[in-house]
A and B are shown apart, each in its own frame.
Chain A
Amino acid sequence: MSVEGRTTETPADEPSARTWTGKSRQWLLRRLPPEKLLPDDQPSYVASWIYVFGIGAIASFVFVILSGIVLSLNGPLWYHVSVLGHFVNSTHLWSVELFFITMVIHLWGKYWMAAWRGGRALTWITGVVSFAVSIVAAFTGYLLQTNFDSQWIAFQAKDALNAVGIGAWFNVADLGQIFMWHITLMPLAVAAVVVLHVILVRMHGVVPPLDAAESDAQLRSTTPSLIDTEGDAR
């Protein structure tokens, strides 16, 4: 075994696999052992409200998906004319608002923590990608309000999309196409990136605050000066 998160050896009691399935299992277990995937505890610095907004975004996303499933099963006529439809439609909107609010505060917190430190660049990048993909998902949602607001947004957006040359392929005036983007492709894309982001957080651990850098095994392994300047790393 070597530094946390960078183990390279096969467990002693398991011979090296010869098949691709066995090699995949061993690779996955080396990179993400069960105790990292579902840990018993977190470092003491995680007991802070600033670490809550990531899971807040995921909880909001669950509500977005659940309310979206109800909306898609019943259709626009239902959510435009019935009282319950209005309620579920509003639940969908406000869970999206909470999703973006918590995600952006999570982004602010991680930015000021320099969360890409200690070999966590890919975690940071998947967070940025999930933000970008979520914006596209929300945009297609605004196009599906099927009211004057969505009509206005679509006919402003078509000029921008035509100007960059993708208007014929991604046609915001085509309600059926945008519906498919919004209820199939975009939720799958957001979910896939968010799952990857969470797996990377589990693999590398949550980033410590700047003044607790020496307490992190990955930071010690990627920043030798921490040990030189701090003496015996805690």
Chain B
Amino acid sequence: MSGAFASAVNAVSPGIYLGWGGFVIQLGNLIVIIAMLVLFALALFLPFPHGRRRR
């Protein structure tokens, strides 16, 4: 039980923060935002597979 409590406490780490001037962002949030931008760009340019003929 104490081990589980300790692991729960350790799970709440402050994380890694990146800063440029007055702008600060957590690394995890930055990764998610970059992944979204990449997905958006890929969705615009990647061809969509055609399983069957469409109108």
Contacts and interface: CB of A to CB of B under 8 A. Distances in A.
Q: Is chain B found bound to chain A in the same assembly? A: yes
A227 B39 CA distance: 35
Interface string A141-177: 0000001110000000000000000000000000000
Contact of A108 (B9, B12, B40): B40
A80 B44 CA distance: 41
Grouping DSSP codes into helix (H, G, I), strand (E, B) and loop, the B interface class, with mixed when no group exceeds half, is helix
Nearest to A97: B32
Given A97-B32, A101-B32, A147 B12 contact: yes
Contacts of A43: 55
B53 to A, nearest CB: 10
A47 interface: yes
A31 B8 CA distance: 52
B18 interface: no
B25 interface: no
Interface string B32-55: 100110011011101010100011
B24 interface: no
B51 to A, nearest CB: 9
B36 A109 contact: no
B1 interface: yes
Interface string A15-54: 0000000000000000000000000011110011110110
Contact of B48 (A48, A108, A149): A48
A147 B43 contact: no
A101 B55 contact: no
Interface residues of A, number: 21
Nearest to B8: A80
B1 A81 contact: yes
Interface residue tally on B, bucketed by range: 20 to 34
Contacts of A138: none
B16 interface: no
Interface in A104-148: 104-105, 108-109, 147-148
A28 to B, nearest CB: 27
A170 B42 CA distance: 41
B43 A52 contact: yes
Given A43-B55, A149-B12, A109 B48 contact: no
Contact of A101 (B4, B9, B35, B46): B35
A104 B36 contact: yes
Contact of A105 (B8, B11, B36, B54): B36
Nearest to B4: A81
A52 B40 CA distance: 11
Given A81-B4, A109-B40, A149-B12, A47 B55 contact: no
13 contacts: A41-B55, A44-B54, A44-B55, A47-B50, A48-B48, A49-B46, A50-B44, A80-B8, A81-B4, A81-B8, A101-B39, A109-B43, A148-B9
